[in-house]
């Protein structure tokens, strides 16, 4: 499916996954498996690449794409068709095999997007429910970091912020200093009924205000953690999916909002046809009222509106 905002063609090639993340938005994994297997059997991914050669970036994802043995062939085909940027969205466990990483790079990958959700095995695996997933993913990041000595590609780490791990963001950013990373994405978990999980809000959904406060404390105390060790002038951490009325202090501390804070406050950018949002009368006085899409209704139904105040100056 083409996404106008990013001009990326997303192709589904993974019909299984070796993690079972508590916040996974694909609760019906059997339906996912059937859809993707049919997509692969009919060679539909090739048709998609043939029909969208005007788009210059392609992303292979859905489920865990690295479990599909044909992935290198799909990547090579994308390169042949002229896609300039080729990304793989993965939990990174298969990257523990350095030669597999090399094979993907030589096939044409220009960007690895790797998910890691904790700074310790216990924390990460509490969320992924995958034994050895922390060790394998961190070994994968080590392998990719080493391969950058011989190849040119980007490494992006995606970290889903939950009630379980948000207090340890500083520890996580310290861990990332051990690798050669281009960008770290801290995305607050979206308030779906993730994985059909009961008591989702009680278990996983943090208050936006609590996440913002933790980030403020980190910036004031350890500002250097938000900058790349490879380029100390490069701010390489972004936080996504947090409303502007919760993050305005972060914006003041770090400067340009669009450079590092983005997400569910902006109307029509990322959440069309997804979770419904809502506003209150007080939102009309907010300076950002015209661009704000509101707060997820499932969030305010659970936590209420007390933490949200309009930005008036």
275 is a domain residue: no
245 is a domain residue: no
Q: How far apart are CA 120 and CA 138, in angstroms?
A: 10
250 is a domain residue: no
Which CA distances in Å does 171 have to 80, 117, 137?
41, 11, 17
DSSP assignment letter at 292: B
Bridging pattern class, strands 183-188 and 154-161: parallel
Which CA distances in Å does 2 have to 36, 108, 271, 296?
17, 20, 15, 25
165 is a domain residue: yes
pLDDT at 258: 44
Q: Is 284 exposed, middle or buried (0-12, 13-18, 19+ CB in 10 A)?
A: exposed
Alpha carbon 292 to chain centroid, angstroms: 21
302 is a domain residue: no
Q: How far apart are CA 281 and CA 23, in angstroms?
A: 32
307 is a domain residue: no
218 is a domain residue: no
Which CA distances in Å does 64 have to 24, 102, 161, 253, 255?
12, 18, 20, 37, 36
The total number of structural domains in the chain stands at: 1
pLDDT at 31: 65
293 is a domain residue: no
pLDDT average per 10 residues of sequence, the chain (313 residues): 61 87 74 69 80 92 91 96 96 98 98 98 97 98 97 98 97 97 94 68 92 93 90 87 84 60 43 72 87 88 92 84
Backbone torsions φ then ψ of 264, nearest 5 degrees: -80, 10
DSSP assignment letter at 190: P
Residue 189: CB atoms within 10 Å: 24
Handedness of CA 193, 197, 201, 205 (dihedral sign): negative
**Tokens describing residue 217:** 């404390």
Q: Residue 52 belongs to a domain with what CATH number?
A: 3.20.20.70
Domain containing residue 124? 2-206
Nearest to 114 by CA among 132, 131, 138: 138
pLDDT at 173: 97
């Amino acid at each position: 499916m083409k996404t106008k905002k990013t001009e990326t063609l997303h192709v589904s090639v993974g019909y299984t996954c070796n993690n079972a993340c508590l916040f996974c938005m694909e609760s019906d994994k059997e339906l996912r498996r059937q859809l993707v297997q049919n997509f692969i059997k009919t060679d539909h991914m090739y048709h998609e690449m043939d029909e969208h050669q005007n788009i210059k970036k392609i992303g292979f994802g859905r489920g865990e794409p690295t479990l599909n043995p044909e992935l290198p062939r799909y990547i090579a085909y994308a390169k042949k068709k002229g896609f300039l940027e080729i990304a793989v969205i993965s939990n990174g466990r298969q990257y523990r095999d350095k030669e597999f990483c090399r094979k993907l790079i030589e096939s044409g990958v220009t960007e690895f997007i790797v998910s890691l959700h904790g700074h310790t095995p216990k924390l990460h695996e509490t969320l992924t429910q995958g034994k050895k997933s922390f060790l394998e993913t961190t070994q994968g990041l080590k392998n990719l970091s080493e391969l950058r000595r011989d190849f040119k590609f980007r490494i992006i780490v995606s970290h889903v912020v939950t009630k379980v791990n948000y207090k340890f963001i500083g520890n996580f950013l310290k861990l990332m200093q051990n690798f050669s990373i281009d960008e770290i994405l801290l995305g607050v978990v979206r308030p779906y009924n993730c994985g059909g999980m009961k008591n989702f809000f009680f278990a996983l959904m943090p208050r936006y205000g609590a996440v913002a406060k933790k980030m403020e404390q980190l910036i004031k105390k350890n500002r250097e953690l938000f900058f790349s060790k490879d380029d100390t002038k490069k701010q390489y951490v972004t936080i996504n999916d947090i409303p502007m009325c919760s993050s305005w202090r972060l914006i003041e501390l770090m400067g340009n909002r669009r450079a590092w804070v983005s997400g569910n406050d902006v109307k029509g950018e990322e959440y069309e046809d997804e979770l419904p949002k809502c506003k209150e009368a007080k939102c009309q006085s907010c300076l950002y009222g015209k661009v704000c899409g509101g707060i997820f209704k499932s969030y305010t139904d659970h936590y209420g509106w007390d933490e949200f105040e309009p930005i008036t100056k």
